[in-house]
Amino acid sequence: MNWLLKRLPAVRPARSALAGAATLWVLGFCLSVLLTSRVAAGEPATATTSGVSPGAGGASAAAQRLAGEIDAAIAASQRAAGIEPGAVVEDAGFARRVTLDLAGRIPTTAELQAFLDDPAPGKRRRLIERLLTTADYAFHQRNQLDLLLLARLRRDGAWRDYLLQASRERRPWDQLLREILLPEREQPDEAGAAAFLRHRAKDLDALTNDTSSLLFGINIACAKCHDHPLVVDWEQRHYFGMASFFKRTYTTRGGSVAERFEGDVRFTTIYGEEKDASFMFLSGARVEEPAVERSDAEWKQVRQQIKEAEKNDQADPPPLPAFSPRAQLVDLALEDPRRYLAKNVANRLWARLLGRGLVDPLDQMHSENPPSHPALLERLAEELVAHDYQLSHLVRAIMISDTYARSSRLADAEPPPPEAFAVALPRPLTPHQLALSLSLATRDPAALPGPAKPSDWEQQRAAWEQRAEGWARRFEIPSPRFQVPVEEAMLLSNGTEMQQDLLADRSDRLVGALQKQPSVPEQIDRAFRAILSRPAEPAERERLAAYLEARRDRPVAGLRQMVWALLTSAEFRFNH
């Protein structure tokens, strides 16, 4: 295995170059599309994705092909089940959805209007491409990765900075894997990447379970005490095999992660037999530790240095062993013919965008819980690997598919089974999406930019993120069978920040801006567009007009209450 270790550093720069080139290509592509789109005749939006000129090759064509495969697979299963797919979501809904999914926030009124007004065909595709290049994308991607990998456990600023940088650079998933599982070798000067391991390092079970579950889609916790009672695939040796890779991991007093030179896992079977665990990946692939001759003096020195590092934060960085179990794990994961790594992240990306994984629950990837679309999941994994683990390739392909663009409206029908993906599932906003959107929705719309962003948009967006932190901490992280807790309703109903900040009667706030509108209907319409990203419907207009009329003598109160009702409506709370 050592030859692989030596080889890999040489491979990495090439991948970054590829990612860099891809970004430039996309930018160039967008530019060319902008220039050509003016001449194209208007084309009605149909159920199929209006395509870009076939001549635009590279990343986009591959994504288009994959999107086609996705749609074909989904359509085939719907046909087989006799399920009619729902209608395509209308433009306003589409704009809101993709902005949330790529920029991590609702669209500004100007962004929304620009999209609605855009007459050129292929605008949906172009919107996706544009959003993939904005500063917002990296922030949102960072927040999503944090939610996946650490946020439930700990909020770690250095880790979030690390993820942001990685997201900005579009660092591929296999590289991220390497960096978070081998921070002391890959990122020795960066405290951030080590957080995944560091906050779990004192708990071998947490390291084992979380790695298996979050990175490979396999929850093997139950296999610790006995061969898994419900799942034949996982036995004790799988659990302890994975645990072996982490057994030697420790943290230094200074906060770095390192590995000892020795330490094996022994476990007792349910028959009371004591066994030594071998280094074994979930696929069953194993690794043998090469025998190394070390004198007693060398052992003593190594152990002493490690002990020093554990006790003293001023100590020298400890020595790193030539045989690194975690490095072996990374290699096995990347060579794994079953492609658990790729399948898991593909499944999770799918779930993030469609509301449900192809394998559901997300950490139950095993033979008795087959994917709803096994061949499709294989294809997504294959594509990811073929595109050097570039997550944005899958994101793009999924988002330009018809499957992604279904409406979430049921029109009084029975809901189809969710695994048919015939309608879009409502997805609760993540804490950051909600916090950012609350902030954005309550600003003066005229002060927020449209699609063209000011040169300091990166900094502005960073400031928005900072402000959102406090709110974000109060909101529940989405989970399977998510329910809104009553504490959230109480917070938004009676908390001071809502009243004094978001609903403030100031010229830079929505409440202030609405007062400048010439009529009540315009106030209502403005509010709807700013908050719900759509115009009001007649019944809504009527109800709200009556509400505001009844408060004619205290119009500010009326406006605040209307804004509040829109912000706290279920429609705002979900991505739909």
Give the interface with other proteins as residue ranges (CB under 8 A): 219-222, 230, 361, 363-364, 408-411, 415, 425-426, 428, 476, 481-491, 493-496, 499-500, 539-540, 543-544, 547, 557, 561-562, 564-566, 568-571, 573-574, 576
Nearest CB to other proteins, comparing residues 319 and 418: 418
Structure tokens at 232: 């034949």
Nearest CB to other proteins, comparing residues 73 and 472: 472
Residue 206 contacts residue 244 (beta carbons within 8 Å):
no
Nearest CB to other proteins, comparing residues 47 and 489: 489
Nearest CB to other proteins, comparing residues 286 and 551: 551
Give dist(CA 447, CA 215) in Å, integer: 41
Structure tokens at 101: 């999914």
**Taking the complex as a whole, how short is the minimal distance between the CB of residue 483 and other proteins, in angstroms?**
3
**Taking the complex as a whole, how short is the minimal distance between the CB of residue 225 and other proteins, in angstroms?**
9
For 258, the 3-state DSSP assignment is strand
Nearest CB to other proteins, comparing residues 205 and 298: 205
Residue 376 contacts residue 69 (beta carbons within 8 Å):
yes
Structure tokens at 400: 């330009």
CB contact set of 342 (below 8 Å; sequence gap of 6+)? 173, 380, 381, 382, 384, 385, 389
Nearest CB to other proteins, comparing residues 363 and 388: 363
For 330, the 3-state DSSP assignment is helix
**Taking the complex as a whole, how short is the minimal distance between the CB of residue 213 and other proteins, in angstroms?**
8
Amino acid in position 391: L
Nearest CB to other proteins, comparing residues 334 and 504: 504
Taking CB atoms within 8 Å and a gap of at least 24, the contacts of 86-90 are 86/406, 86/407, 86/409, 86/410, 86/422, 86/423, 86/424, 87/406, 87/407, 87/409, 88/45, 88/47, 88/402, 88/405, 88/406, 88/407, 89/405, 89/406, 89/407, 89/408, 89/424, 90/407
**Taking the complex as a whole, how short is the minimal distance between the CB of residue 272 and other proteins, in angstroms?**
15
Residue 96 contacts residue 533 (beta carbons within 8 Å):
yes
Nearest CA to 41 among 31, 50, 32?
A: 50
**Taking the complex as a whole, how short is the minimal distance between the CB of residue 287 and other proteins, in angstroms?**
26
Nearest CB to other proteins, comparing residues 457 and 547: 547
**Taking the complex as a whole, how short is the minimal distance between the CB of residue 23 and other proteins, in angstroms?**
35
Q: Which residues of 67-95 are buried (b: 16+ CB within 10 A; e: fewer)?
A: bbbbbebbbebbeeeebebbebbebbbbb
Structure tokens at 569: 């409506």
267: phi then psi, degrees, rounded to nearest 5: -140, 160
Nearest CB to other proteins, comparing residues 255 and 426: 426
Q: Which residue has the tokens 């920040």?
A: 497
Nearest CB to other proteins, comparing residues 59 and 498: 498
Structure tokens at 99: 């902005």
**Taking the complex as a whole, how short is the minimal distance between the CB of residue 484 and other proteins, in angstroms?**
4
**Taking the complex as a whole, how short is the minimal distance between the CB of residue 222 and other proteins, in angstroms?**
6
**Taking the complex as a whole, how short is the minimal distance between the CB of residue 137 and other proteins, in angstroms?**
26
**Taking the complex as a whole, how short is the minimal distance between the CB of residue 208 and other proteins, in angstroms?**
13
